[in-house]
Amino acid sequence: MRTPLIAANWKMHMTIAPAVRLIEEVKAALGARSGVEVVICPPATALSAAGHALAGTPFLLGGQTMHWEPKGAYTGEVSGPMLVDVGCRFVIVGHSERRLYFGETDDAVGRKVRAAIECGLTPIVCVGERLEERQAGRTDAVITSQVRAALQEVPAGALQRLVVAYEPVWAIGTGQTATGAEANRVAGVIRRTLAGPGKDAAAAVRILYGGSVKPENIREFLEQPEIDGALVGGASLDVQAFAAIVRAAERRAPG
Ligand code: PGA
């Protein structure tokens, strides 16, 4: 059984004081969770303070992106070892906003995934088709090629360390979502792509759904057999909404 995972992507929101306040509210609302992993991904400037606020809780810290080199002349970038240094265990890689606004290519995503694994971080690799790709019937082809690119440099035996988030680009921040059944179908495509020869570990990889997840629709995704949780943007900034999403995942947790 795969442990459900709910990840909060705060994007470019929250200076330090409100970030710490929101974490205190999440802690108060959720207490000690069991059976579901909760990862909070604040912006880089709030990571250190957020890490301190999360110390001693079951909630884990994640970065929103990273560079593939451990250090060097890359002005403005943050490396995997730097994320580890502030207490991160996870990192979002290849979010569609990175791909769209910052020119992040499949090739860069592949290098980042490898670098994340090498420094002990769990990458949450985002894949998803744009609206015009869906309308052209290219969803599966796009997803398959994004997953293959992300896997390109993953060392043998490390596959099960990956988390993949299926985030249809047209569903992010729009209030529109894929249906549970369609998200489950695409998650199946992702799992079959992960499961190449010698890659039995694909069954252990957690696949999340992302794109306008809210307390009102989370159950539709969690009840799908291929979906193991969610990557939550907007609703993760609202403590009551986020807590309700985590509680829904807890009810689905094994044991
Ligand atoms: P959203 O964002 O929940 O606001 O749609 C999801 C994401 O971008 O990861």
Any bridge partners for residue 8, and if so which? 40, 232
- Verify whether residue 220 is a known catalytic residue: no
* Catalytic-role residue among 37, 104, 153, 167: 167
pLDDT for residue 9 is more than 50: yes
188 lines ligand 1 (CB under 6 A): no
**Lookup: tokens for 71:** 């250090």
Domains identified in the chain, total number: 1
Distance 236 CA to ligand 1 centre (A): 9
Rounded Cα distance, 219 and 248, in Å? 7
What φ, ψ does residue 253 adopt, rounded to 5°?
-60, 145
pLDDT at 253: 66
The confidence score (pLDDT) of residue 100 equals 96
> What is the rounded CA–CA span in Å between residue 101 and residue 11?
13
| pTM (two decimals) | 0.96
What does the pLDDT average to over 147-168?
A: 93
Q: Which two tokens stand for residue 119?
A: 């420094």
Q: How far apart are CA 202 and CA 221, in angstroms?
A: 20
Whether residue 195 contacts residue 207, with contact meaning beta carbons closer than 8 Å, is answered with no
For ligand 1, say whether the CB of 61 is within 6 Å of any of its atoms.
no
Contact status, residue 10 vs residue 43, Cβ threshold 8 Å: yes
Residue with CA at minimum distance from ligand 1 atom 7: 233
Q: Which atom of ligand 1 is nearest to the CA of 97?
A: 8
Distance between CA atoms of residues 74 and 79, nearest Å: 9
- Could you confirm whether 97 is annotated as catalytic? no
CA distances from 248 to 32, 117, 241 (A): 15, 29, 11
231 lines ligand 1 (CB under 6 A): yes
Per-residue model confidence as pLDDT tens digits over 54-97 = 999 999 999 999 999 999 999 999 999 999 999 999 999 999 99
Quick: pLDDT tens for 33-56. Answer: 778 999 999 999 999 999 999 999
- Binding-site residues from annotation: 9-11, 173, 212, 233-234
The 10s digit of each residue's pLDDT in 89-121 is: 999 999 999 999 999 999 999 999 999 999 999
Q: Is 96 in the pocket of ligand 1 (CB under 6 A)?
A: no
In the set 67, 95, 97, 153, the catalytic residue is: 95
186 lines ligand 1 (CB under 6 A): no
What's the whole-number mean pLDDT along residues 180-196? 95
CA of 183 to the centre of ligand 1 (A): 15
Binding residues for substrate: 9-11, 173, 212, 233-234
Q: For ligand 1, atom 1, name the residue with the nearest CA.
A: 233
Question: Could you tell me the residue range of the domain that residue 55 belongs to?
Answer: 5-252
Query: What pLDDT was estimated at residue 255?
Result: 47
Q: Ligand 1, atom 6: nearest CA belongs to which residue?
A: 233
Cβ of residue 168 lying under 6 Å from some atom of ligand 1: no
Q: What is the CATH number of the domain that holds 44?
A: 3.20.20.70
